[in-house]
Amino acid sequence: MKELRPYQLKAKDNLRNSLRKGNKRIVLYCPTGGGKSIQAVDLIHSFIQKSDKRIAFIVNRIGLVNQFSEHLTSAGIKHGVVQGQNTYGLDQQVLVCSINTLSKRGMPPIDFAIIDESHASAGSNMYKKAIFSFNNIIWIGLTATPFAKGMAKTYEELAGEPLWQDMVIASTIKELIQHRYLVDCDIYAPSDPDLTGVRLKTNEFGEKDYREDDLDKAVDTPTLIGDIYTHWARMANGKKTFVFANSVAHSKHIVEEFIKHGVKAEHIDGYMDQKEKEPIMNRFKYGDTTVISNVAMLREGTDVPSAEVMILAKPTKSLTAYIQMAGRVLRTYEGKEIALILDHSGSAHELGYPTDDLPLKLCDGEKKVNERTKIKDEKSKEKKCPQCHFIKKTFVCEKCGFTPVIKPDVLIEEGNLVKMARKMSKDHKDMDKRVLQAWYSQLLCFGKSKGYAEGWAGNQYKNRFGVYPRNLAKTHSQPSEEIVGWIRSRQIAWAAVQRKIGK
pLDDT digits (tens, 9 = 90+) for 22-53: 999 999 999 988 999 999 999 999 999 999 99
Residue 403 has pLDDT above 60, yes or no: no
Which is more confidently placed, 100 or 270? 100
**Average pLDDT of span 72-88:** 95
More confident residue, 311 or 486: 311
The CATH number, out of the four listed (3.40.50.300, 3.75.10.20, 3.40.190.10, 3.40.718.10), of the domain defined by the range 180-356: 3.40.50.300
* Mean pLDDT of all residues in 271-277: 87
Give yes or no for residue 380 having a pLDDT over 80: no
Higher pLDDT, 411 or 294: 294
DSSP assignment letter at 4:
P
pLDDT above 60: residue 446: yes
Q: Can you count the helices (H) and strands (E) in the chain?
A: 16, 20
Look at residue 80 in the predicted model and tell me its pLDDT. 97
DSSP 3-state of 226: helix
Residue 192: its pLDDT value, please? Answer: 62
From the list 382, 413, 412, the residue with the least C-alpha distance to 398 is: 382
* Among 19-23, 206-210, 378-382, the least confident range: 378-382
| pLDDT at residue 99 in the model | 95
Residue 466 Ramachandran class (φ > 0 left, ψ -120 to 50 alpha, else beta): left
Distance CA 359, CA 163 (A): 18
Indicate whether 416 pLDDT > 70.
no
Q: Comparing 417 with 364, which gets the higher pLDDT?
A: 364
Q: What is the pLDDT of residue 352?
A: 85
Q: What's the pLDDT at 374?
A: 46
- Greater pLDDT, 412 or 420: 420
Domains 6-172 and 180-356 alike in fold:
yes
Distance separating alpha carbons of residues 157 and 136, to the nearest angstrom: 12
The string of DSSP letters for 327-390 reads GGG-B--TT--EEEEEESSSHHHHH--TTS----S------S--HHHHHHHHHTT-EE-TTT-E
Share of the chain above pLDDT 90, in %: 52
Position 15 pLDDT exceeds 90: yes
Q: Which CATH superfamily is domain 6-172 in?
A: P-loop containing nucleotide triphosphate hydrolases (3.40.50.300)
Local confidence band at 413 (pLDDT 50, 70, 90 cut-offs) = very low
What is the Cα–Cα distance from 103 to 59, expressed in whole angstroms?
12
More confident residue, 384 or 451: 451
Q: Are 29 and 87 in contact (CB under 8 A)?
A: no
Asked whether the predicted pLDDT for residue 495 surpasses 70, the reply is: no
Find the helix or strand (DSSP H, E) in which 262 lies: none
Query: CA–CA distance from 226 to each of 193, 256, 464 (Å)?
Result: 14, 10, 35
Q: How far apart are CA 162 and CA 143, in angstroms?
A: 17
Higher pLDDT, 88 or 220: 88
Q: What is the pLDDT of residue 151?
A: 93
Of 172, 171, 166, residue with least CA distance to 17: 166
Q: Rounded mean pLDDT of 491-497?
A: 67
Q: What is the pLDDT of residue 153?
A: 94
Range with the largest mean pLDDT of 44-58, 207-221, 341-355, 438-452: 44-58
How do the domains of the chain map onto residue ranges? 6-172, 180-356, 428-500
For the segment 400-426, the average pLDDT, to the nearest whole number, is 48
**Which pLDDT does position 437 carry in this prediction?**
86
Q: 100-114, 140-154, 314-328, 365-379 — which is least confidently predicted?
A: 365-379
Q: Is the pLDDT of residue 16 over 80?
A: yes
pLDDT at 367: 55
Asked whether the beta carbons of 281 and 268 are under 8 A apart, the reply is yes
pLDDT at residue 424 tops 70 = no
pLDDT band at 348 (very low <50, low <70, confident <90, very high): confident
pLDDT of 26 reads: 97
Q: Is the per-residue pLDDT at 427 higher than 60?
A: no
Percent of the chain with pLDDT over 70: 84
Asked if pLDDT for residue 370 goes beyond 50, the answer is no
pLDDT of residue 401: 62
Annotate 61-80 with DSSP letters as a single string.
Answer: SHHHHHHHHHHHHHTT---E
User: CA 90 to CA 95: how far, in whole Å?
Assistant: 7
Whether 340 contacts 277, CB under 8 Å: no
**291 backbone dihedrals φ, ψ, rounded to 5°:** -125, 130
What's the mean per-residue pLDDT of the chain?
A: 85
The reported pLDDT for the residue numbered 392 is: 57
The sign one gets for the Cα dihedral 153, 172, 464, 242 is negative
* Tens-place pLDDT, residues 104-143: 999 999 999 999 999 999 989 999 999 999 999 999 999 9
- Predicted pLDDT at 369: 39
The string of pLDDT tens digits covering residues 173-202 is 989 998 999 999 988 886 566 788 888 888
